[in-house]
Amino acid sequence: MLTILKERPAFAIFVQFFILILILGFFWSLVLNKLEIHTYLNCYHSIFLDYFFQVITVLGDGVFAIIVSVFIFFVKEKKQGILLILTFLISALLVQILKNFIFFDSMRPLFYIQSGELKVEIVEGLKLHLYNSFPSGHTTTIFAMCSMFSLFVKSRKFGIFLFVIALATAYSRIYLSQHFFQDTLAGALIGVTVSLIIFQIFTRKIAMTTNNSVQKQQD
């Protein structure tokens, strides 16, 4: 882990911001319940933001992740494309298991809006879901993809850019009342963790293959 942080400055800055948000979010969740946090994060709406977050939330969609992965595979680097698609598939599978078999009774904000416990603005024309709130699949996908991308580059500025994109996409799920803050926090944690594990496994296999090839040549 420390080696990767030293060798991958874009990922290092991405993780630093992520850990900061994770820590702050954890303590915030201890002080306020999910309804209070959701109300606070939805205190301001506008026509522009309604449109903006409906557009940016698409970045966390599985179809978009697949399109990007396939594009990278054929246009730029096959290894990177494989890492991206593996990261998406594994993180998405994990989220679906959690949603449908462990936290299947976790209700989305719409349930509390309909019951009158939660009073926030709703974006007109948007279809809101009712069940399978925890964790946020869109947030998992965008953090998985962006953290993996940050492992491909060295620019710290690009690492910051990727984190801003991931954070904005995660917030869009809250703004649109598709998820609670805790759902996005868990999704982000899953996404970053899966991308790091896959990258480490992949690089270790490459290192082992290289060493074996060198050893055979020497023999």
- The domain limits of the chain are 2-208
pLDDT at residue 171 is higher than 90: yes
215 pLDDT above the threshold of 60? no
Task: Please tell me the predicted confidence (pLDDT) of residue 218.
Answer: 47
Return the pLDDT at 1. 63
**52 against 3, higher pLDDT:** 52
Fold of 2-208: Vanadium-containing Chloroperoxidase; domain 1 (1.20.144)
Helix and strand numbers (H, E) in the chain are 10, 0
pLDDT tens for each residue of 11-68: 999 999 999 999 999 999 999 999 999 999 999 999 999 999 999 999 999 999 999 9
Give me 199's structure tokens.
Answer: 């990258």
With 70 as the cut, is the pLDDT of residue 108 above it? yes
